[in-house]
Structure 1
């Protein structure tokens, strides 16, 4: 048997995906989820504008939860994971007692506060879309499908954006066991 002959267990070549491949797949999945959420919401907007025969239409009130979710996604995914842990990692007072630990601790609290506001915007967007569905469509007895579908699409679009944010956060912040940190 030559060195070039490779004995495989499977008939078709199967490679275990690398960490970078999984990370890239997570980023693509996140983009697909965001695009799906945007398209679901845009479908409701276009239906309301061009095909809706009822008295209920998509207005700016329906856009507010979508915009909150999008802004929350941008905020949450702009925070680096290592900024959240800086205060805990350098609590020894910094190099030579220079007080750098206090600066790192302040940066960690700032990052945690901004992250909290991002998640609050995400939660507010999702709950806002549910409130719009209930108040605008269910309470006023617009429970026939094409009209009710506009409210359901708003909720589904926000759910997809929330899932997109979670997938992107996980894909960006999972560390590889074989990666090395070269920072000083």
Structure 2
């Protein structure tokens, strides 16, 4: 066993398959699009005449989704080879810790977006005790952000 491994158990061979990576890319895209679809569905239903409620989705409901999308963009924009780079392998010193800091900020944005959507759900829809069609606005926001974060 190699001494520089992080985990004790070896990685399964099927994870190194090109078809597995392709399926993972498609699954991530499906989760991302499903997350935005759920939120846009809730937003469009909140402004429909069939809503039957005076409560609508406002900009405060959009902020967690924006944070999650920005966090996803930040995480995907980092080159993975820079995370384990030596300090003199690229131009400038300390590239690895800078890349790790930016990666941490991206994950913090995504976690903050999910926590913000749960907060909006609880404070805006659950505490006033709205019935189900109105409660869907908050539930759609949370499930959309969870799909974006899981992608």
Q: TM-score range by the shorter chain?
A: 0.7 to 0.9
Question: What's the offset of the Cα at 1:31?
Answer: 0.3
Equivalent in the alignment of 1:111: 99
Equivalent in the alignment of 1:126: 114
Question: What's the offset of the Cα at 1:82?
Answer: 1.2
- CA 1:120/1:147 → structure 2, altered by over 3 Å: closer, same or farther? same
- CA 1:101/1:27 → structure 2, altered by over 3 Å: closer, same or farther? closer
Instruction: Please tell me whether residue 34 in structure 1 is matched to residue 53 in structure 2.
Output: no
Over aligned residue pairs, what C-alpha RMSD do you find? Answer: 1.9
Indicate the larger mover: 46-55 or 148-157. Answer: 46-55
- The question of whether the paired residues in 1 share the 8 Å contact of 2:15 and 2:21 is answered with no
SS in 1 for 2:53: coil
Give me the whole-angstrom Cα distance separating, in 2, the residues matched to 1:69 and 1:20: 28
**Cα distance per residue 1:108-140 (max 9 Å; x no partner):** 111011101100000000000000000001111
User: Which TM-score applies when normalising by structure 2?
Assistant: 0.84
Query: Which 4+ residue blocks in structure 1 deviate beyond 4 angstroms?
Result: 101-105
User: Which TM-score applies when normalising by structure 1?
Assistant: 0.70
- CA 1:19/1:38 → structure 2, altered by over 3 Å: closer, same or farther? same
Equivalent in the alignment of 2:45: 47
Matched pairs, number: 137
Aligned residue runs from structure 1 range 81-92, under 5 A: 81-87=80-86
Decide which structure has the larger Cα Rg and report it: 1
- CA 1:18/1:85 → structure 2, altered by over 3 Å: closer, same or farther? closer
Question: What's the offset of the Cα at 1:105?
Answer: 5.1
Equivalent in the alignment of 2:140: 153
**Cα distance per residue 1:144-176 (max 9 Å; x no partner):** 110001100100000000011xxxxxxxxxxxx
